Structure 1
Amino acid sequence: MGIARRELLSWGAATAALAATGARAQGTPSVIRIGVAQPAIGNPPGFYGSSVSIAHAKGWIEEEFKKDGLRVEWFFFKGAGPAVNEAITNRQLDFAFQGDLPAIVARAAGLKTRLILATGVRSNIYLAVPPDSPIQSVKDLRGKRVAIFKGTNAQLPINRLLEANGLTEKDLRAVNLDTATAKAALATKDIDAVFGGLDLIQLRLNNTARIVYTSKGDSPIFTRQGHVLVTDEFAQAHPEITTRVVRAIVRTARWASDDVNRDEVFRLWARTGFPFEVWKEDYDGEPLRVRFNPQFDPLLTARYRDAVEQAYKFKLTRSRFNVDQWIDRRFLNAALKDLKLETYWPEYQADGRINGAS
């Protein structure tokens, strides 16, 4: 699995480990530091749901830089996107894989980053309740104790979903809980419902929860978006290295987008604790190219513009900013050209249609 750092790190431990890397050397760096807005799970430790997670499991970014003697270090954050933002603020990461909302909050606050690659896009959200709960739909959540992992890329689509059903977070007895704590609280009925990801499918398969809503098959505005970003400082100082990191992930995305590899992708992710059947259900009927598409096409760019407006509307940020100036396509375009993949992934228009389709 290469020389990547794979141990599960709490935020406190991650801060200490990252600080130990010291100041960045002048010229070519000796290490590339990648932050992941998820904890590492399983044996060997890994994460899931993106081309970046597959590159990590396969060691393909390490392979890209092996001949240069350049190390790749991975840091995993139980505190998700907000914890990643803190590490970037403290100049302890060069790249990060996280969701749209935490990156938007940081950018609106002045953190200098660039979006360079899409991954983990259009991930579904789910709403689960205890098996014997009277709750049958989102509309039934008024006045209920509902867990939401705030500050993550699930919060915006959840807020949009609530709004579409005539509700806001203020109409709920919303509690901010991380994923593991929320699932435990649902089992003990300390909460009435929980919004989350495909891990809630596993609760249903174990007969410990009932799913009353999924964004699967619903509007893409109710799905979660993810990306890889780089700090302005690193991109300016090391554009060639940045392009090579992107190229390694794009090569991974091409492999993962091939439906011939579907079962292997799900088996890799099953190592992180969610069974093969969970991944199969979540992706059922959906081409892998959809979620592994690395491009910020018009549809995804529109989603990020909307997310900036929604974050401001819901008072999660205090300012707006220009998304088109935030997205830096140069590295991705160079990688796509080098790998001859300029037309491999379909490009979606802002209205959801594929370019060229009537």
Structure 2
Amino acid sequence: MKNIKKFTGILLALTLAFGVTGCGSSQNNNTTKKATQTETTSTENKELKKVIIGTTGLDGSLTENAAIAQKEKFFEEELEKVGYYPEYQAFAQAGPAINEAFSSGAIDFAAYGDLPAITAKSNGIDIEVIATTSSDMAYSLVVNDNLDISSIADLKGKKIVVGFGNSTYKFLSDILEKNGLTINDVKIVNSATDGPTMLPANQADAFVTAESPALLYQANGIGKVFDTSDVASELSSLFVLAGRTEFIKENPEVAQAFIKALQRAYEFAQENPGKVYEDLATDSFPAEFQQQVYTDTTFAEFNPAIDDTTLKKAESTVSFLKENNIITNDVNVDKFFNTAVYDEAVQK
């Protein structure tokens, strides 16, 4: 086993980037200022109004298809056509902090997971989903190098690190169920961040994380990725573009501009796969890792359209949240996912 200290910088970056992906409450100073659309900037003598987008990237960067639209300036170009410019606001605490910002009116849109978005809706925050930025967000199980297992069923009685109530917890619950087990058949260590340090210290048998960091952990000797490719797409989750319902109703052209940018990014990805890996790359996850994750160069998961598969995944998430008492109020997926905005955008 490699010296853990060697990876401190990588682990810190990964912890910050992926530590909080679920739902719950947290404080974030980015939510203190209420957004207004009265602020303007001048671009070639044209006054543009500001629209604020919440991001999970620490530097204001977006992920998945939205990252391509951001890097290629598709958001800027489409929004300028309707008199707006984007301001990206980063939330280190991801979903919970973004929900706070929506609640206070500090942001207008956000690209983040369907699980926290559904939680927000259940809690009475008036937002709606207008597109997907990824319909196939995959997760991986990283197991201790010393653990000899040949199937998921062999995890019975093992100690697994995962954050309760977030998307990784749902993935673990689903994959155990697919293999005849339940969450009660394993020993859960409730943490979204401690897996990469507990595993090499032999304090845990496995942890769950997103696919990209899983590959990086494996490359750096933290553990080995257990192959779940047979059910990866089936058990993947959604990343969505959500917006405040009031803002969307008052500014439909802005919502449509976002969708047009995402549609352009999807088409760009199909035509320029090499450039896509560069656009998705970060300091922690370089292009070569992105290429391992996105092996299908049709990039079907980047299609922003909301289809039957999208809705079924969202309904599965609603059921999971209710069954685990994470939400109490039901969410009508057919109403929450507003397909009319997309339809109007692509027809123009």
TM category, shorter: 0.7 to 0.9
Cα shift readout 1:296-330 (whole Å, capped 9, x = no counterpart): 11121122122222322232221323211111112
Aligned residue in 2 for 1:174:
188
Does residue 1:31 correspond to 2:44, yes or no? no
Aligned residue in 2 for 1:330:
340
Does residue 1:40 correspond to 2:58, yes or no? yes
**3-state DSSP of counterpart to 1:255:** helix
Q: Specify which of 272, 288, 292 is matched with residue 261 of structure 1.
A: 272
Aligned residue in 1 for 2:217:
203
Q: Specify which of 94, 107, 112 is matched with residue 121 of structure 2.
A: 107
Q: After superposition, where does 1:128-277 map in structure 2 within 5 Å?
A: 128-179=142-193, 181-198=194-211, 199-214=213-228, 216-218=229-231, 220-256=233-269, 258=270, 260-277=271-288
The residue type equivalent to 2:169 in the other structure is Q
Contact 1:81 1:151 in 2 (8 A): no
Aligned residue in 2 for 1:304:
314
Structure 1 runs not aligned, ≥5 long: 1-7, 339-358
CA deviation after TM superposition for structure 1 residue 275, in Å = 3.0
Aligned residue in 2 for 1:349:
none
Aligned residue in 2 for 1:341:
none
Q: 1:239 to 1:47 in 2, by over 3 A?
A: closer
CA deviation after TM superposition for structure 1 residue 193, in Å = 0.8
Does residue 1:318 correspond to 2:336, yes or no? no
For 1:23 and 1:66, locate their aligned partners in 2 and report how far apart those are by CA, in whole Å. 17
Q: 1:116 to 1:22 in 2, by over 3 A?
A: closer
For 2:149 and 2:239, locate their aligned partners in 1 and report how far apart those are by CA, in whole Å. 30
For 1:24 and 1:270, locate their aligned partners in 2 and report how far apart those are by CA, in whole Å. 32
**3-state DSSP of counterpart to 2:226:** strand
Cα shift readout 1:7-52 (whole Å, capped 9, x = no counterpart): x99999994344235555499993211112x3336xxx7343x111
The residue type equivalent to 1:153 in the other structure is S
Aligned residue in 2 for 1:126:
140
The residue type equivalent to 1:298 in the other structure is D
**3-state DSSP of counterpart to 1:127:** strand
Structure 2 runs not aligned, ≥5 long: 1-15, 41-46
Indicate the structure with greater strand content: 2
Q: 1:246 to 1:79 in 2, by over 3 A?
A: same
Contact 2:31 2:97 in 1 (8 A): no
Q: 1:219 to 1:127 in 2, by over 3 A?
A: closer
For 2:310 and 2:255, locate their aligned partners in 1 and report how far apart those are by CA, in whole Å. 22
CA deviation after TM superposition for structure 1 residue 119, in Å = 1.7
Moved more, 129-138 or 320-329: 129-138
Aligned residue in 2 for 1:342:
none
Q: 1:326 to 1:305 in 2, by over 3 A?
A: same
State the TM-score, normalizing by the size of structure 1. 0.79
For 2:50 and 2:261, locate their aligned partners in 1 and report how far apart those are by CA, in whole Å. 16
CA deviation after TM superposition for structure 1 residue 172, in Å = 2.6
Contact 2:31 2:104 in 1 (8 A): no
For 1:108 and 1:315, locate their aligned partners in 2 and report how far apart those are by CA, in whole Å. 12
The residue type equivalent to 1:108 in the other structure is S
Percent pairwise identity: 25
**3-state DSSP of counterpart to 2:305:** coil
For 1:297 and 1:69, locate their aligned partners in 2 and report how far apart those are by CA, in whole Å. 30
The residue type equivalent to 1:178 in the other structure is A
Contact 2:31 2:100 in 1 (8 A): no
Contact 1:154 1:224 in 2 (8 A): no
For 2:27 and 2:83, locate their aligned partners in 1 and report how far apart those are by CA, in whole Å. 24
CA deviation after TM superposition for structure 1 residue 60, in Å = 2.3
CA deviation after TM superposition for structure 1 residue 237, in Å = 1.8
The residue type equivalent to 1:293 in the other structure is N
For 2:324 and 2:31, locate their aligned partners in 1 and report how far apart those are by CA, in whole Å. 33
Contact 2:34 2:105 in 1 (8 A): no
- The size of the alignment, in residue pairs, is 321
The residue type equivalent to 2:112 in the other structure is Q
For 1:81 and 1:14, locate their aligned partners in 2 and report how far apart those are by CA, in whole Å. 11
RMSD over aligned CA atoms reads 3.0
**3-state DSSP of counterpart to 1:228:** strand
Q: 1:83 to 1:47 in 2, by over 3 A?
A: same
CA deviation after TM superposition for structure 1 residue 80, in Å = 2.4
Cα shift readout 1:220-248 (whole Å, capped 9, x = no counterpart): 33112111011112112211112112212
Contact 2:82 2:257 in 1 (8 A): no
For 1:218 and 1:294, locate their aligned partners in 2 and report how far apart those are by CA, in whole Å. 22
CA deviation after TM superposition for structure 1 residue 67, in Å = 6.5
CA deviation after TM superposition for structure 1 residue 185, in Å = 3.0
